[in-house]
Amino acid sequence: MTELQELNINSLGKTKGYVKNSTIGFLLYFLPLFSLKMLGLDVTGNAGRIITVIAVAISIFIMHKITCGRKRMTIWMLLLMIGIITVIMSGKYSIFFSIFTLFLLDQVKQDQLKYIYKDLLIVGTILLLIALVQSINTGDIQSRFINGTYTLITKRPNYIYVDFFALANIYLLSKKKVKTLRFCILYLFIGNALYIYTGSRSGFLCVVIEIMLLILFEKTKILQKNFVRTIIPHVTIILFIVNFLFNWGYGKISFLTQLNLMLQNRLRYGKLFLTLYRPKLFGQRIAESYAVENYQVLDNTYLSMLLIYGLVISVVWIGLNYYCASSLTNRLKSKELAILFSYLLYGFTESFVVVSFISMIFFVYSECLHNNPDISLKKEKKRRRISLFRGSNS
């Protein structure tokens, strides 16, 4: 079977059409791990590791032949090697699998993503409903600092809101055109209902911000303004600096003390880890504690990148976000820009943004890399093709 030959089969989402081996391979890799994260299960646990190994092996076997230009393959191999070194140094697997996810997505043609989105929506919706049913009797009454005073709220697992946020963004990505106002009204209604149910303030805030960005980018010409086009690519760098200053300045500025109370001591924990650890080239292991009597967790994507995954990965991530923001702005991709910025803002209070199995920002990255005029697959076809598995058929 040749590389360009297609299979006339049904996708997992019951959609008839031509689905390529690369698409099937990606789904067999991604869906099991996506399902674990949707249910709030640990991918790095014993069961998760077994499922991960099986999923990776099956996906590579199905895809058979991974081909691209020599320069492009060299870059991917270098990034995967950096990912492996980061795993060894930090003890965290997220970055390696996120790079591997992008690598597999690079083999999937953009017109095939509709099958992936449809299957993720179907499976994800079923799993979210299961998670909601499982959480009915798990709510705890907790005190939260809201609007300058402590208020009792019912708190349920945050991963439920992260699941909802992921599904909403998969839906956005799956549609070429979205009726923005109708979607935003429904999005806000469901988002508010889930906020009341789970108590996830950061999740609801990101939903509100994403709705505002969708309307702003879609209904105005702001993306055509020169000063906006200049600022947008630098957003990740700005957020990195703001995160560092907020965490490092905790205890010195009264405003940050109030903000820390609203963020459930996240600034205090960030300051603690910044005091105990210094950024390393390829990351390091840090001592986190989930014990109730000694809870110390680095719940911040930016500080996690810097302290856990290291300077090299941080620079690569900043560069990737810089390129994607610039590319999306130049092509006036308002929907994708809103998704990108919403996840980057979510990173202030959560560390899952760099976990590809639940962070849909990686599909935005893939779209941008496919549309890079310098490394697009169309130009790569003209170059010499190399294969990871010489002599195998696809």
Between 111-115, 298-302, 384-388, the lowest mean confidence (pLDDT) is in 384-388
How much is the pLDDT for 383?
45
pLDDT of residue 282 exceeding 80, the answer is yes
Is pLDDT at 292 greater than 50 in this prediction? Answer: yes
Q: Are 322 and 314 in contact (CB under 8 A)?
A: no
Helix (DSSP H) and strand (DSSP E) numbers for the chain? 17, 6
pLDDT of 16 higher than 50: no
- Mean per-residue pLDDT, 363-390: 59
pLDDT above 60 (res 300): yes
What interhelical angle do 361-370 and 310-330 show, nearest 10?
70
Among left, alpha and beta (phi > 0; psi -120 to 50; other), residue 17 is left
More confident: 156 or 18: 156
Predicted confidence (pLDDT) at residue 393 exceeds the cutoff of 70: no
Do residues 305 and 314 touch, judged by C-beta distance below 8 A? Answer: yes
pLDDT band at residue 384 under the 50/70/90 scheme? very low
Q: Count the Cβ atoms, other than its own, within 10 Å of residue 185.
A: 12
Altogether, the residues listed in the chain come to a count of 394
What mean pLDDT is predicted for residues 79-94?
93
Please state, in angstroms and rounded to a whole number, the distance separating the CA atoms of residues 191 and 60: 37
Closest Cα to residue 318, out of 266, 247, 244, 267? 244
Q: What is the pLDDT of residues 116-139, one digit of tens each?
A: 999 999 999 999 999 999 888 776
Q: Considering only CA atoms, which of 209, 208, 113, 199 is closest in space to residue 161? A: 199
Q: Which amino acid is at 320?
A: L
CB 83 within 8 A of CB 99: yes
Nearby residues of 175 by Cβ (< 8 Å), 6 or more positions away: none
pLDDT (0 to 100) of residue 66: 64
Average pLDDT over residues 208-218: 94
Rounded (5°) CA angle 365-200-29 = 40
**What's the pLDDT at 297?**
86
pLDDT, position 158: 87
Token pair listed for 333: 């991709």
Instruction: Give the closest residue to 314 by CA, choosing from 88, 77, 95, 89.
Output: 95
Quick one: pLDDT at residue 63?
61
Cβ neighbors of 46 (< 8 A, separation 6 or more) are: none
For the purposes of burial, counting CB atoms within 10 Å of the CB of 153, is it exposed (0-12), middle (13-18) or buried (19 or more)?
middle
Angle at CA of residue 326, ends 322 and 330, nearest 5°? 175
pLDDT of residue 142: 56
Q: Which residue has the higher pLDDT, 172 or 61?
A: 172
pLDDT score for 285: 94
> Which two tokens mark 266?
């996240």
The model's pLDDT over 44-68, given as tens digits with 9 standing for 90+, comes to 666 666 777 777 777 767 665 666 6
Q: How much is the mean pLDDT over the chain?
A: 83
Which whole number is the average pLDDT over 184-197? 94
Amino acid 378: pLDDT: 43
Average pLDDT rounded to a whole number, residues 176-204: 91
Q: What tens digit of pLDDT does each residue of 336-365 get?
A: 999 999 999 999 999 999 999 999 999 999
Q: SS3 for 41?
A: coil
Residue 20 pLDDT: 77
CA distance 268 to 272: 6
Q: Where are the chain's structural domains?
A: 140-381
Q: What is the mean pLDDT of residues 18-36?
A: 84
